Amino acid sequence: MKHMLKLFLLLPLFWAVPAHAIDVMDVVKKANHMSYYQANDGRAKVNMRIIDAQGRTRVREFIILRRDDDDTDTGQRFYVYFNKPADVKKMVFMVIKNMDRGDDRWLYLPALDLVKRIAASDERTSFVGSNFYYEDVSGRGINEDTHTLVKEDDNYYIIKSIPKDPQAVEFASYKSWIHKSTFLPIKTEYYDAAGEKLRSYSALKVDMVDGYPTVTASSMEDHKTGGKTLMNYSAVKYNVGLPENIFTERYLRKAPRKYLR
């Protein structure tokens, strides 16, 4: 009886909260899943156009293979096979994303038949000279920031994130617009301590691929330099059935053609 009473007292409190109230970590987890962990594996051809403030354009083209270790949205393997520019053609960049320690990275240089283990670099430096950082491509740990739901409207959850270790990153905070029904991040803006915009990410196009809503065009703008990078995905495929051993020295030296076509 006493318990019942307590329950009645609490009820109005629940009603005061909107019916679709959602835990911010839940949104962040789902957004992280949608951005980096859909299906067990995936394959895409990526075209990057890096445009500087003077309008000069550089092009990168590569095929990316991704395989998740399990369903926990943690460990992953990436195999990146370059087609353009010509001087890096057939070069391979491979990453094993570990949760308990830094990532393992390799570079394969075909002209020398050299498998080079490379030191994990600062995650917040340019990926292949673009305005995207390594972390933008492979994902930022969801526990590295403190997230707050600042607003929501018809389409988006708007989340502000503050790094737990501000020394480790170039930004003071960032804000993400997470699409409500798909949980895809549609826009992310990074700010410095003065609140000035540093960089902003935009999803430009979303397609349904193999049943998975997928961002197939996006951009990253650098507001300090005036440069930006446009990224286009084509030939996207999920649940390719990539064997785990694709991500080994064997396939660095002998590209797995079947999965790169």
Partner 1 sequence: MAQEIKLPEGLGDLSTMSQTVDEAAGLPFDLSGFLESRIGTRLQKDALEKDTSIGEMRLQVGIEKEFDSLTFNLVSDFIYDPVQDRYAVDLETGQGVVDLREANVVFSPLDFMDVKLGRQILTWGTGDLLFINDLFPKDWNSFFIGRDDEYLKGPSDAIKTALFFGDYNLDIIYVPRFDADRFIDGTRLSFFDRAQGSLSGENPVLANPPDKWFGDDELSLRFYGSIGAFETALYYYNGYWKSPAGQNFITGLAEFPKLQVFGASARGPVGKGIGSVEVGYYKSADGAASNPLVRNSEFRFLVGYEQEIGTELTGSVQYYLERKSDYDQYVASLPVGAIQDRRDRHMFTLRLTKLLMQQDLRLSLFNFYSPSDKDGYLRLKAAYKIRDNITAEIGGNVFYGQKIYSFFGQFKDNSNIFAALHYDF
Q: Which two tokens stand for residue 32?
A: 């992280």
Instruction: For residue 136, give the 3-state DSSP assignment.
Output: helix
- Does 69 bind partner 1 (CB under 8 A)? Our answer is no
User: Does residue 233 contact residue 217 with C-beta atoms inside 8 Å?
Assistant: yes
- Does 197 bind partner 1 (CB under 8 A)? Our answer is no
Task: Select from 22, 59, 99, 168 the one that contacts partner 1 (CB under 8 A).
Answer: 59
Residues 6+ apart with CB under 8 A from 140: 123
Cβ at position 242, least distance to partner 1 in Å: 16
User: Which range in 6-14, 23-31, 141-149, 203-211 contacts partner 1 by CB under 8 A?
Assistant: 203-211
Residue with tokens 């049943």: 211
Q: Which of residues 27-46 bind partner 1 (CB under 8 A)?
A: 45
- Does 128 bind partner 1 (CB under 8 A)? Our answer is yes
Q: Which of residues 98-127 bind partner 1 (CB under 8 A)?
A: 101-102, 104, 109, 111-115, 117-122, 125-126
Beta pairing partners, 33: none
Task: Select from 66, 77, 179, 199 the one that contacts partner 1 (CB under 8 A).
Answer: 179
Cβ at position 228, least distance to partner 1 in Å: 12
Residue type, 245: N
Q: For residue 86, how many other CB atoms are within 10 A of its CB?
A: 8
- Does 215 bind partner 1 (CB under 8 A)? Our answer is yes
- Does 224 bind partner 1 (CB under 8 A)? Our answer is no
- Does 148 bind partner 1 (CB under 8 A)? Our answer is no
Choose between 29 and 187: whose C-beta lies nearer to partner 1: 187
User: Does residue 43 contact residue 237 with C-beta atoms inside 8 Å?
Assistant: yes
- Does 129 bind partner 1 (CB under 8 A)? Our answer is yes
- Does 202 bind partner 1 (CB under 8 A)? Our answer is yes
For residue 160, the number of C-alpha atoms closer than 13 Å in the C-beta half-sphere is 8
Instruction: Answer left, alpha or beta for residue 17, where phi above 0 means left and psi between -120 and 50 means alpha.
Output: beta
Residue with tokens 């694709």: 246
Q: Nearest Cα to 133, choosing from 43, 37, 229?
A: 229
Task: Select from 58, 73, 91, 238 the one that contacts partner 1 (CB under 8 A).
Answer: 58
User: Does residue 214 contact residue 206 with C-beta atoms inside 8 Å?
Assistant: yes
Site residues, partner 1 (CB under 8 A) = 45, 50, 52, 58-59, 84-87, 89-90, 101-102, 104, 109, 111-115, 117-122, 125-126, 128-130, 155-156, 177, 179, 182, 184, 186-187, 202-209, 213-217, 227, 234-236, 245, 249-250, 253-254, 257
